[in-house]
């Protein structure tokens, strides 16, 4: 079990949203999203403004922390060792996938490591066990 992890900002879903933990926002420069503990299945979407396949130019990676947020590690995806790093060169590339975290107390965030142009929207959400057992948020 990881070290206890507390959210670093607002993770409350919008009114009517069926998820019970939502990290959503956008990047218009390099930086990091709010971080929150995630346990069980969750969704990730990274996309440009202006509808599906909106134009953005940058790099965003999915990171997790096992030590309460002191150290952040790029997630692996697909079991083949590929890192969860997503890049668009302004060509309308969207990314949307589901993932699973088997360990309680692990924190997740999105990190924009390179930015050139456009608005990079993101959402990480779950109706997972952590949210339902801990009531985050009600």
pLDDT digit string, tens, across residues 20-69: 889 999 999 999 999 999 999 999 999 998 767 788 999 999 999 999 99
For every residue of 61-85, DSSP letters joined together read EEEEESSTTSS-EEPEETTTTEE-E
What's the pTM value of the predicted model, to 2 decimals? Answer: 0.86
Show me where the domains of the chain are located. Answer: 21-131
Class of domain 21-131: mainly beta
In contact, 132 and 38? CB cutoff 8 Å: no
Kindly report, residue by residue over 95-116, the tens digit of the pLDDT: 999 999 999 889 999 999 999 9
Q: Is 36 helix (H, G, I), strand (E, B) or coil?
A: strand
Tokens (6 digits) for 63 = 């990171």
19 contacts: CB under 8 Å, gap ≥ 6: 13, 43, 125, 126, 127, 131
């Amino acid at each position: 079990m990881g070290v206890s992890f507390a959210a670093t900002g607002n993770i409350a879903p919008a009114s009517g949203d069926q998820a019970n933990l939502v990290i959503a926002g956008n990047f218009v420069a390099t930086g990091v999203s709010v971080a929150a503990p995630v346990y069980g299945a969750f969704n990730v979407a990274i996309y440009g403004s202006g509808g599906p396949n909106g134009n953005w130019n940058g790099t965003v990676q999915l990171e997790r922390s096992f030590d309460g947020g002191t150290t952040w590690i790029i997630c692996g995806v697909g079991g083949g060792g590929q890192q969860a790093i997503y890049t668009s060169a302004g060509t309308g590339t969207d990314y949307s996938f589901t993932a699973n975290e088997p360990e309680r107390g692990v924190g997740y965030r999105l990190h924009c490591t390179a930015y050139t142009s456009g608005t990079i929207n993101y959402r990480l959400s779950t109706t997972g066990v952590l949210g339902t057992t801990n009531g985050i948020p009600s």
